Amino acid sequence: MHHSRERGLTYLGATYIGNFADKELIFEAFDEANRYLSQNDLPVRFVYLGKIEVGPGYLISIPVGEDQVKGYPLEAIIETLYARLLEETSRDERFPMRRIFGLTTFPLVSRNRYFPIYEKFLGFQQEILGMKIMVLSMKPFESKNRELMKARILKGILHELGHGFGLEHCSNSCVMNPPRDLEDWDGRPLSYCSSCMRKFRSALMAELVLKK
């Protein structure tokens, strides 16, 4: 995923947190996202920044029904991704990066016991001082079918990416249409509808104008 950076493109950091046996699946998902963006003339690309280590001491358990679910607290992940984004931005000031996207192998949980999460809670975004932090849990997308799992993750990446550029949920046949369940998600197209595509392109163009 390493490639030379070009002028006229908006770049996002891409990384993952947690242990995952099939690292190639993560690279392929981000690569295919870049291919989709390129084929549709959307001037935004992911740049892989390497894996981020978060110590096992951060793991917490939350009760879900009769079980305990382990996960990294969202707050710790947000802080870690923000620090990595600042590091990358200071390393190469010619290409300021204002967004980072982290995939995590654990469910997203929170130290705030009133946070309504887990099963429906797939992705999360937070803005810190003009920097956008995006997180997506791969846990709900797990499948023994590798291609199916990759397609689910790829749709999740495009969905959160859309939110990162101001897109809202959509009721069309579109990756921005939130699923009721996994079967619903598997039926979603791996693409933005024409309306979301127009809004996304406008947001990117506005950003490029601001950079000049």
Write out the catalytic residue numbers. 160
CA–CA distances in Å: residue 130 to residues 63, 70, 169, 175 = 34, 31, 22, 26
Structural tokens at position 135: 């997180």
What are the residues whose beta carbons fall under 8 Å from the beta carbon of 119, sequence distance 6 or more? 64, 140
Tokens for 134? 């995006």
Q: Give the residue from 21, 30, 35, 23 showing the smallest Cα distance to 48.
A: 30
Are 136 and 160 a contacting pair, CB within 8 Å? Answer: yes
Widest CA span in the chain: 55
